[in-house]
Structure 1
Amino acid sequence: MEQLVEEYGPRWEPGPYERGTDGPRVILTGVDTSPTGLRAAAYAAGLARRQRARLVVVYVASPKVWTGLAAAAVVDVQLRSFEEEIKQLRDELAARAHELSVPVTFMVRRGETFPELRQAALDESADLVVVGASEQGGHRLVGSVGNRLVRAATWPVVVVP
């Protein structure tokens, strides 16, 4: 799967990059089709609309560790699942971007979620990162993506429940 970047909504013209402006100019949100992922996207879109900011939506296709050891049929099923989620998110974003008049960049990246979101935020000069809270109990011990982003201490991070 190649990296995908699509633009929706009005054209966004970047100004000079500056931290500490009156509000965020670029809001990056990591999304998936989980309830918390969708709530994070909705929160980030509303904030982008109110702040007149650019919204960067990043979907990370994160294969499980066992995928490398799995049979080709299992990998094919997982790739189709990613493609279905990407199509669902793409369709929703295209409709909402014009409705809210928010410039939206949709990216699909492949790899582990935390490093890919971190790199996307750096690449896009994000002023704020919004993610959904983890729904997995084990993340209390190991650390969720939101916790890891907060510990990276590069940008303000909002974790949406």
Structure 2
Amino acid sequence: MYDDELQPRTRAVPERCTDGPGAILVGVDGSTSSLRAAAYAAGLARRQRSKLVVVYVRPPASYALPVAGAAVTVLQAQDAIEQELRTAMEQRVAALDVDVELVVRTGEPYAELLDVAQMIHADAVIVGRSTKILHRIMGSLAVKLTRCGRWPVTVVP
């Protein structure tokens, strides 16, 4: 008999949630596909015990300045979307026991998502599928994020 056979063997306890993502970033804009992406990201964060960072990027009001009175309407719509996101997070995500944070930025969505992803050291980025025809020609946000090649990108239909 060898000495190591006499000692009781202990099972190694597997590490929990260290292989999965530590921070998941999801971009939302109020569209149906982005809300599906948020739901998918919340479920993934719950299963992986990851932090969920929800990013809402408000387009600058300067886009609406050429149309008289449109800037106020655009700002009101953006405020309504932001409030809906906050309410949804408080009601739905809190029940999932997920560490969630809402980040609201103003600017171009691609640049702002890159900035937030770098700031939080995101391990995964999740976005909804674009429904705009122009994105088939110029490239959608999801395509730009994928080409960036810094994080795994999941596109939710």
Using the size of structure 1 for normalisation, the TM-score is 0.83
For 2:86, the equivalent position in structure 1 comes to 90
For 1:39, the equivalent position in structure 2 comes to 36
Structure 2 gaps of 5+ residues are 1-17
Any idea what the Cα deviations from partners look like across 1:126-148, whole Å, max 9, x if unmatched?
Answer: 00000000001111110000000
Aligned with 2:154 (options 127, 151, 158): 158
SS at match of 1:69: coil
Shift, 1:90, TM fit: 0.4
- What amino acid does structure 2 have at the position aligned with 1:69? P
1:99-138 aligned within 5 A = 99-138=95-134
Residues 45, 52 of structure 2: 8 Å contact kept: yes
For 2:21, the equivalent position in structure 1 comes to 24
Q: Distance in 1 between the 2:30 and 2:154 partners?
A: 18
Shift, 1:95, TM fit: 1.1
Between the aligned residues of both structures, percent identity stands at 46
- What amino acid does structure 1 have at the position aligned with 2:88? E
Number of residue pairs aligned between Structure 1 and Structure 2: 140
Is 1:61 aligned to residue 58 of structure 2? yes
Shift, 1:86, TM fit: 0.4
Shift, 1:58, TM fit: 0.3
Structure 1 gaps of 5+ residues are 1-20
Shift, 1:68, TM fit: 4.1
